[in-house]
Amino acid sequence: MATALIILAAGQGTRMNSELPKVLHRVAGAPLLVHAMSAAAPLGAERTFVVAGHGAEAVRAAALAHDETVEVVIQSEQKGTGHAVAQALPHLQDFAGKVIVLFGDTPFIRAETLEAMLAARSDVVVLGFEAADPKRYGRLVVHSGHLFGIVEYKDATEDQRAITLCNSGVICADASLMSRLVAGLGTTNAAGEYYLTDIVAAARAAGLTAEVVTCPEHETLGVNTRADLAEAEAAFQARKRVEMMEDGVTLTAPDTVYFAFDTVVGRETVIGPNVVFGPGTTVESGAVIEAFCHLTGCHVSRGASVGPFARLRPGAELAEDVHVGNFVEIKNAILDEGVKVGHLTYLGDADVGARTNIGAGTVTCNYDGVMKHRTTIGADVFIGSDTMLVAPVTVGAGALTGSGSVITENVPAGAVALGRAAQVVKPGLAAKLFEKLKAEKARRQKAKE
């Protein structure tokens, strides 16, 4: 059966104490909204709607950046979840299939859980969970396996507040039925809002069936405060670390490694302590990432080694068996097979040929204050320590640069390039200079006394 998604993302999130829309706060480098969209992606929904309100343009941009087929509708006034869903339903008048309503601030619901809701036979299906501490969640009133209603905490009696089966807010129903039920919602409640949850009671009153599909409580974790955001980050990282180790990745100090929402790491890779992965990073099998490295928007091939204390920035491409050592930064650069960059080096906007050795302290001087320029280094080149490569510049295959050189012109293949000032030696001058400096120091100390 065809499926449509409505993701509610209109709230301001006042408890976040932020100008940023709540659903754009990030967990593992991605907005909460993107997590919610990604969780439902395996369903293969024919249409997906994001209901935006506060910061609508920013929400729209984030949604479309993740999935350009998403349809964004606006809830200009915040009149409750029922009112939010009503903004999307007119676009589904001719849609024959089921609709699932999700929340942009609830990032961890699994696709398997949503599939179970779609497979349920009742007219209205609600996702619930048994809460260790029900707090102020809405309660699900169930008798003999049938759902009779959802009661918001502020409207619940003491007996109803004793119920531990709680409402996640996620609801599934046929599109035409949901449109009909939402159209009949009223505001006779403590908040004076249109509650989407009231469609359950309306369905039962019309002789229709309703049921609850349950999931573990951690799937329904919603983010309303900065503390919730930190809890969500911790939950994501804990789950991701376990997944990585189960997939054959070695984490020598798991609690200190942080992954992005889209990090891919191949089996037999070893990751040391205090490594941070930003978005857009792939590490192939058998690589080694040493301690205190930061990788974002990069690709590390099989057998490569990185670190310790290295940084790979967006556009860094490391081929097989490349070695990037301590205090090395790579940005928008391609390093071919077997390249060695041992230490204390910056390679930006560069192409480096196979088996080339980059000496300590090398810098590709890629920025002239206005534009970026590229450095091209051929295969089997030896770049001496403390070489400044002033781009745009090319060093041919098999060439060598002398230590301390400033290279401003192209170097032919097989050539040696030296670009440093002539050394001047003054015999005996050092002792005279030291005597002069010591006398000056003594004079200054005496003047202070």
Q: In this structure, what DSSP letter does residue 137 have?
A: P
Residue pair 165/179 in contact by the 8 Å Cβ criterion: no
Question: Which candidate, 35, 26, 42, places its Cα nearest to that of 219?
Answer: 35
Measured between alpha carbons, how far is 262 from 278 in angstroms, rounded to an integer?
Answer: 9
Element (DSSP H or E) covering residue 9: strand 3-9
Question: Which candidate, 136, 189, 144, places its Cα nearest to that of 161?
Answer: 136
**Single-letter amino acid, residue 24:** L
Measured between alpha carbons, how far is 231 from 313 in angstroms, rounded to an integer?
Answer: 28
Tokens representing 449 are 């006394």
Q: Beta strand 165-174 with 124-130: parallel, antiparallel or unpaired?
A: antiparallel
Residue pair 182/106 in contact by the 8 Å Cβ criterion: no
Measured between alpha carbons, how far is 60 from 49 in angstroms, rounded to an integer?
Answer: 11
Give me the half-sphere count of Cα atoms (radius 13 Å) on the Cβ side of residue 188: 3
Q: How many CB atoms lie within 10 A of CB 42?
A: 12
Q: How many CB atoms lie within 10 A of CB 37?
A: 25
Tokens representing 352 are 């480096």
Cα radius of gyration (the chain):
31
Q: Is 66 a catalytic residue?
A: no
Exposure string over 364-397, b if 16+ CB within 10 A, otherwise e: bbbeeeeeeebbbbbbbbbbbbbbbbbbebbbbb
In angstroms, the first-to-last Cα distance of the chain is 93
Q: Which of 83, 91, 323, 343 is catalytic?
A: 343
List the catalytic residues: 343
